[in-house]
Amino acid sequence: MAWFAGRAVGITASGAPAWARAYAHAWVCSWARAWAALAALAALAALALLALCTTLPAHAQDIPPGLSAMDAQAQADWLTQAARDGRLEALDDTQLVSLFRSVSADGLAAYVKQGVSNLDEYEFEMWRQERINQRWAARPEHLEVRYRRSPMQIYAKWLPDGPHKGQEVIYDETQRPDQMYGHLGGLLRALSFWISLDGAMAQTQSNHSLRDIGLQYVADSFGAELAKFQAAGIHAPSQIDIEEQRGTRLVVFTWESPTGRPAFYAKRERVGIDLRHPWIRLVESFDNDGEPFEKIFYDKVVARRFGDFAFDPKNPDYRF
């Protein structure tokens, strides 16, 4: 093409007939305009591509570039505010994974602990599936729970879509700190009785004490396990995923312990944290053989202010 253009320029400068010189001049001008237009389009495309690559959404621009250099409490404070004002939820999956990769284990533990520090009274639903006496439950329990942290008072009801529907228990540490009051479901629900909080009967349905049911226990346990991981030289999760569990978008951290049980709670642990609140919503635990022994999901967590009647067996809404 350059050769043709050169020939045309030669014609315009030669002693060729006027019509040939006019034709060559028009041809050169036409090609010059075409190439100028193509160059302009290329420049615009380059600018657009550059803008696409360098311009982040407004919410992403708010991510501090030095987050990884902050101390644990500063990281927790920033994450708490970002969850509260919707910045975390607005990020896409890739941005979330990148963000939480820059948060230290201590920062993550502080974030979760800070999230439940002011959650004194609340209600929630729990989906709980465990391995009891070496048998994995065929389907999860579904509970409705009312919880007061101090003094610790708990009401729990097993909902109809779970295997022990109709059961209820109440625990009040100001009355009997080592016992809970409850009844079974079905025909036996008319018979309520006191049982040991950690006795054999209580352990037929869960490996945990009823006192372990709240979000504070999960946050404290998470912090304790992270301290063990760091002591073993593991300072970051092996994997971070963004998942949806029961309609809730979570950032899920997978931690692999070097030795497994009994030194650690689990060989592999998956912990899912809410994007709107600094709460652990999902816990999945696997034994040394890679088999699950626990899966817990906290749903519909709502802060409440309860009257004392909420933890009284005489409450007419209960079936004690």
Whether 277 shows a pLDDT value over 80: the answer reads: yes
Whether 186 shows a pLDDT value over 50: the answer reads: yes
Of 125, 147, 126, 96, the C-alpha closest to 273 is 96
**DSSP secondary structure letters along 219-235:** HHHHHHHHHHHHHTT--
Task: Please tell me whether residues 299 and 171 are part of one structural domain.
Answer: yes
pLDDT at 200: 87
* Phi-psi label, residue 120: left if phi above 0, alpha if psi -120 to 50, beta otherwise: alpha
Task: Please tell me whether residues 149 and 13 are part of one structural domain.
Answer: no
Whether 151 shows a pLDDT value over 50: the answer reads: yes
State the total domains in the chain. Answer: 2
The letter for the amino acid at 241 is D
The Cβ of residue 146 has, within 10 Å, a number of other Cβ atoms equal to: 18
pLDDT at 72: 97
177 belongs to a structural domain: yes
The letter for the amino acid at 306 is F
pLDDT at 189: 73
- Residue 31: which domain range? 2-54
pLDDT grade for 227, boundaries at 50, 70 and 90: very high
94 belongs to a structural domain: no
Tens-digit pLDDT profile for residues 78-128: 999 999 999 999 999 999 999 999 999 999 999 999 999 999 999 999 999
Task: Please tell me whether residues 139 and 233 are part of one structural domain.
Answer: yes
87 belongs to a structural domain: no
Task: Please tell me whether residues 12 and 140 are part of one structural domain.
Answer: no
Q: Where residue 222 sits, what CATH number does that domain have? A: 2.50.20.10
Tens-digit pLDDT profile for residues 301-315: 999 999 989 999 999
pLDDT grade for 5, boundaries at 50, 70 and 90: very low
Tens-digit pLDDT profile for residues 53-90: 434 444 445 577 789 999 999 999 999 999 999 999 99
Task: Please tell me whether residues 142 and 265 are part of one structural domain.
Answer: yes
303 belongs to a structural domain: yes
Tens-digit pLDDT profile for residues 12-30: 445 555 544 554 455 445 5
Of 256, 287, 253, the C-alpha closest to 270 is 253
pLDDT at 3: 43
